Structure 1
Amino acid sequence: MTPTLKRSLSSAERSISPPALRRKVAQTTDSIPTANTWSSTAGRRQLRIFSWNVNGVGPFLQRQLSFDSSSVSPLRAFLKRHQWPQLVCLQEVKISSKDTATQRQLEAAANDQSSTDEPYYTIWFSLPRDQYNATGFGGKVHGVASLIRNDFTSMLGLTRRPDWDLEGRVLIHECEIRLVIINGYWVNGTENPYRDPDTGKVSGTRHDHKLRFHQHMLEEVLRLQGEGRHVVLVGDMNIARARIDGHPNLRTSPVQHVKNRADFNSKFFTDEKGMRGIDVFRDVHGDTRKYTYHPRGRKWGESGDRVDLIIVDRALNNDLGAVTGTDICDSPQERGHSDHVPLWISIDLSKLGSQTHVCTLGRKCL
């Protein structure tokens, strides 16, 4: 009898919208045919992470005709087309925290028409719970979700959302091999008012909230690094880092956008007391011009910004050489129904060694 996968739970995890479907029994890696490319030994060493701001999940819940004339969901087709990545981080899912039906439907779409020789995915959500700042469109704003392939779940110890994030923007995945992946939909700075989440009184602007978000995220990263763990930040960070990352122009007005950019670059790249991270796309592809945001309603190529990033710590990239590839899926086809395109990174897990991490809750991560 095939055992079910174990998952460690904490009070932080229980506050996250749980996987909504009753699980099918997952295969162990020993029972997966080695001829299947997604589950080969080499494939298990290479962790592949995708990130995509999907601008709403509605189109994923529909069905489309596949190459073999069967009807599959667009989400399942995406997973198959990209050879079943272990982790897919979605941003701006636009699901209300009360809408459990759509949460179930999204997980069903991820596993639509799955067969015994193809993987299953579980989904974790972090959805808005701020009664003053995330109430638009019936609470269907912001929100992130992570799809985790069934044979990768055993490597995860904790999936949590930090207490400082009330808008449903962050999911933190802590692995047993001292690797932490943070799926984030970072705040977009605007002049719109930000309200104190306790009192509802106006407390500055969304620009101010963006800078606070930067600080909270940096503190999270530095704490994890201080525990000897390697951090990978993925998601829509709502910052184009430099002139090369904006077409035809880099946004410089109003001036607060320039200040936000400088703060971001300092905290996560240049400040000696910051993350000192590596922008892996630039590290691998140099001055190649590719963009992740392509506004709809304009001809493809007329306008674009690279605002979705993957940032890794220097030890993971420079010392261990664990990053084996990355790119942006820069095409109208890959943009699909969204106004952003996906991007990805591959990491050689064998470079991280076999040392496990002991959770701060006092037990070994599973």
Structure 2
Amino acid sequence: MLQGVPRASGRGRDNARDVARERVVSTRERIELLLRELERLHDPLNACESSMLAGFDLCRGDVLATLETSGGEWTHWPSKSPARSFQGPVARWLRAHAGIVAPGSSLRCPRPRGPHIRPTPQRLARSGPACSVFQVTSPRMKRSTRSGASKETTATIVSWNIENLARHVVEGAAEPLAAIATRLGSPEILCLQEIRVRPQDTELIGRMRAALPGYACHFALCQDAKNVTFRGGRMYGVATYVHERLGDAVPSTCDWDREGRVVVTELAGRGLAIVNVYAVNGTSKPYWDHELGRFDGDRHGFKRRFNERLMRACEVLLERGLELVMIGDWNISRTKLDTFPRLRMEEPHALARAMFNETFLPTLGAVDIFRHLHPEARKYTWFNPQTPPGKLDAARVDFALVTEDLVPRVVETDILDAPEDRFRSDHAPLFLRLRL
């Protein structure tokens, strides 16, 4: 029982219920108005300065007392309300003014399940009644609970569009993958894109699996004979190598991904999933939709649909309580700072970029960690191989997105853009080092 909430009996109890019901409605309306205002504002920075927000009184005591007097029967908002993760300035404003969450934790609006969201005993036991309004997670608490050890463990994740893995795993390779991995610092996790291995290449798959001793190899391969005919179907594909010192790793792929562009690796017991992505490069080539059984637009449209489906798949991982590192070749330059000499502003490139920046990232609460830690840096991951010497045509299209709770756990991140680190690929590797 909270301090300051009186007990009532008989008719007084009925009156107390009426007062509590009115208070529930009042508080619910204020919270819903707050959420709608945050939804309305395009730029979260403006949310911190909105005069409307200053009128909300979301103090901890009011919310707790409301839930207490309603007996835990308060129905929150309807299922049509979208899930949102309030990050950065918005989360800081709520922490400072609402008094609901502790500094250093994240504030996430829960995804509706069924017609309504109701308090559960597990939530109330975990974080008190306020957790039925907002899910509160503390990355520091999760680390100490998960590891149970005082010594901090870190893992390095390297991502690289290798542009043909076969030449690095065949017998007598001039640049064996094992030597490349050593040059890259023997990372705990190595994510490769554009490996160009087909499901029927059984010998090559065997060599790929055995290329890095001590590592498990998880992969997704292209098997779309209708849309992929170039090089005999040797296109696309991703592979993730995970060192055995990280323990058990569970791989999965997406049944809608016929081109082998996504493989997910869950690190068992660590609450973390690595999503290795080789996103679609939009072109005007017609795209055959297998579900419709006909051509449906071009690969520009397919690119947007792929990103949306990937976003939904990642939402499922988030709902399971996993933190995400989404890393790879995204085939999108996010801002003018990420390309030289110019950012393509014409359609349909601008549409794909807008959907990625304004829908994909905020829906998942994802942070472009390189840009977050290096806000003014001009570094690129793709270099046009046809550019004359002394000229530059480059873009940052490979990057790591991390969910907000992981941001404080990123020790460092950078792009290895020296020509000798690219080997024969037109992409440069990138890395991040993460506290587990």
TM-score category of the 2 structures, normalised to the smaller one = 0.7 to 0.9
| SS at 1:233 equivalent | strand
Residue among 157, 178, 182 paired with 1:76: 178
Residues 1-366 of structure 1: matches in 2 within 5 Å?
Answer: 45-61=153-169, 73-111=175-213, 120-152=214-246, 154-156=247-249, 158-175=250-267, 176-198=269-291, 200-253=293-346, 255-269=347-361, 271=362, 274-298=363-387, 299=389, 302-317=392-407, 321-349=408-436
Alpha-carbon separation, structure 2, partners of 1:348 and 1:177 = 11
Alpha-carbon separation, structure 1, partners of 2:151 and 2:265 = 20
TM-score relative to the length of structure 2 = 0.62
- Contact 1:63 1:72 (C-alpha < 8 Å) held by counterparts: no
Give the partner amino acid of 2:429: P
Greater displacement, 131-140 / 276-285: 131-140
- Contact 2:157 2:431 (C-alpha < 8 Å) held by counterparts: yes
| SS at 1:264 equivalent | helix
Gaps of 5+ in 1: 1-40, 65-70, 112-119, 350-366
Greater displacement, 230-239 / 134-143: 134-143
- Contact 1:276 1:314 (C-alpha < 8 Å) held by counterparts: yes
How far the C-alpha of 1:226 sits from its partner, in A, is: 2.0
1:22 paired residue number: none
Alpha-carbon separation, structure 2, partners of 1:294 and 1:258 = 21
Alpha-carbon separation, structure 2, partners of 1:281 and 1:240 = 13
Change in Cα spacing, 1:88 to 1:43, as seen in structure 2 (3 Å) is: farther
CA displacement 1:75-126 (0-9 Å, x = unmatched) = 1112112231111010000111100111222334334xxxxxxxx2222221
Alpha-carbon separation, structure 2, partners of 1:72 and 1:192 = 35
- Contact 1:131 1:197 (C-alpha < 8 Å) held by counterparts: no
CA displacement 1:174-202 (0-9 Å, x = unmatched) = 12211111001001111111102256521
Alpha-carbon separation, structure 1, partners of 2:168 and 2:303 = 29
- Contact 2:237 2:261 (C-alpha < 8 Å) held by counterparts: yes
Alpha-carbon separation, structure 2, partners of 1:322 and 1:305 = 27
| SS at 1:110 equivalent | coil
Identity of aligned residues (%): 34
| SS at 2:239 equivalent | strand
CA displacement 1:40-61 (0-9 Å, x = unmatched) = x999811111100011113313
Change in Cα spacing, 1:101 to 1:265, as seen in structure 2 (3 Å) is: same
Change in Cα spacing, 1:155 to 1:323, as seen in structure 2 (3 Å) is: farther
Give the partner amino acid of 1:207: H
Alpha-carbon separation, structure 2, partners of 1:342 and 1:294 = 12
Gaps of 5+ in 2: 1-148
RMSD: 2.2
Give the partner amino acid of 2:244: N
- Contact 2:382 2:397 (C-alpha < 8 Å) held by counterparts: yes
- Contact 1:73 1:110 (C-alpha < 8 Å) held by counterparts: no
| SS at 1:333 equivalent | helix
| SS at 1:250 equivalent | coil
Alpha-carbon separation, structure 1, partners of 2:167 and 2:236 = 17
| SS at 1:238 equivalent | coil
Give the partner amino acid of 1:336: F
- Contact 1:189 1:206 (C-alpha < 8 Å) held by counterparts: yes
| SS at 1:151 equivalent | helix
Higher helix share: 2
Change in Cα spacing, 1:73 to 1:105, as seen in structure 2 (3 Å) is: farther
> Whose Rg is larger?
2
Change in Cα spacing, 1:293 to 1:187, as seen in structure 2 (3 Å) is: same
How far the C-alpha of 1:62 sits from its partner, in A, is: 5.5
Structure with bigger RCO (C-alpha 8 Å, 6+ apart): 1
- Contact 2:308 2:360 (C-alpha < 8 Å) held by counterparts: no
Alpha-carbon separation, structure 2, partners of 1:265 and 1:340 = 22
